[in-house]
Amino acid sequence: MSDLSDLIKAPGAGLEAEDDFERINALYIEKGWGDGLPIVPPTAKRVEKMLGYCDRPLDQAMGLLAPRYGEATPLRLAANAVMAGCKPEYFPLVMLAIDALADEKYNLYGVNATTHPCATMIIVNGPVAQELKMNSGHNAFGPGNQANATIGRAVRLAMLNIAGAVPAAGDMATFGTPSKYTFCAAENEDESPWEPLQVELGFSRDTSTVSVFGAESPHNLNDHESLTGIGLLKMMAGVVATTGANNLYFDGAPAFIFGPEHAATIAKDGYSKADVKKYLFEHGRVPLGALSDENIERRIRQWPVFNGEFAEAGLDRLVPVMKDPNNAYVFVIGGAGKHSAYVPTFGATHPVTLPLKTHDGKFAKSVEEFRRR
């Protein structure tokens, strides 16, 4: 591992400045090195403390982040994590999220550079979420929890400063979304009637994972009246079956975030996760005639993803929002209340889930175990 003091002294590695909060923040705003909110000055001492939770060479790129294809070294990432207000023990999850974003399947270039209002949604599973006191219940995607807020913000700052997703330059979102500030929560595994996300994906319940989605902000699914699983699923399919969402036109992977009360009602009536996905795939469909003539011709009849399936279809033919039921992701987040959420994605992107590993390559439950090994 390279010596931190040597790296910091290297040409172009940093700048000399007083550790003055107001002056440094004014400088960062002037240079466009932040998200518009105040940052914690990333001094050498703070960065070094953050890197105490790093198991990699400090100057070796973990990946190239589009659209600039900047090298995401731990040193650069640690500076952004400091700026975001992360505690050092959060840093392994920040690194894991960056590893996932660099996966070709995620299509970071598309997610970052699109005009579509999407951002990186980060879902944390396993014992690490409790260890770091992440919020998986009431207001999990809202303010109030340091781990949720700063892990998501650190990843976003890396997108700005390393990936080059600068508004109107690398990030061409027409109007953007508040989730570009931070979009991170843990799954409420204790309140879920189903297997948690990491178990569904083949990991043990004791394995901690980070999943990334190129996602829109959550679309609320409000149903205080339905008393059956089929009633709730019928309502949800109606929300899914809308025009204008990218998932209608691409082979995307939308997420369905169930509040614990809705999840319990659906599971009580015997619906598994696979059943939920199948129902929403079969019933979350849009009549071809609901689209404009131009969209029917260019986005459905001629669009490569459909392989000519709708070339001669009548206007009453139903177009699935998901191209395969297994494209959907289902998990439970939130507290009391009869609400769930539909999260459309950029469309030309698929989620990536990675496990927290120890130095010997074995899966880890927690950051403490990650460091100990």
- Separation of alpha carbons 343 and 311, rounded Å: 29
- Separation of alpha carbons 273 and 143, rounded Å: 29
pLDDT at residue 5 in the model: 66
Pair 255, 216: CB distance under 8 Å = no
More confidently predicted of 11 and 216: 216
**Could you identify the residue written with the tokens 């619906």?**
271
- At 252, the pLDDT band (50, 70, 90 cuts) reads confident
What is the pairing mode between strands 119-125 and 184-186? parallel
Other CB atoms within 10 Å distance of the CB of residue 107: 19
pLDDT at residue 1 in the model: 46
pLDDT at residue 338 in the model: 98
- Separation of alpha carbons 12 and 99, rounded Å: 25
State how far the alpha carbon of 245 is from the alpha carbons of 128, 235, 311, in Å: 34, 17, 21
Give the ranges where the chain is alpha helix by DSSP (H). 4-9, 21-31, 44-50, 74-84, 91-101, 108-113, 127-131, 146-161, 197-200, 229-240, 260-268, 273-283, 293-295, 367-372
pLDDT at residue 371 in the model: 87
Going by C-alpha positions, the residue among 101, 137, 96 that lies closest to residue 119 is: 101
pLDDT tens digits for range 164-205: 999 999 999 999 999 999 999 999 999 999 999 999 999 999
pLDDT tens digits for range 19-51: 789 999 999 999 999 999 999 999 999 999 999
Asked if the model's pLDDT at residue 363 lies above 50, the reply is: yes
Asked if the model's pLDDT at residue 321 lies above 80, the reply is: yes
State how far the alpha carbon of 178 is from the alpha carbons of 31, 52, 141, 216, 218, in Å: 22, 31, 11, 10, 11
What is the pairing mode between strands 255-258 and 329-332? parallel
pLDDT tens digits for range 132-168: 999 999 999 999 999 999 999 999 999 999 999 999 9
The pair of three-digit structure tokens given for residue 125, joined into one six-digit string: 């599973």
- At 8, the pLDDT band (50, 70, 90 cuts) reads low
pLDDT at residue 17 in the model: 67
Phi-psi region of 243 (alpha: psi -120 to 50; beta: other; left: phi over 0): beta
Mean pLDDT of all residues in 336-351 = 97
Asked if the model's pLDDT at residue 11 lies above 60, the reply is: no
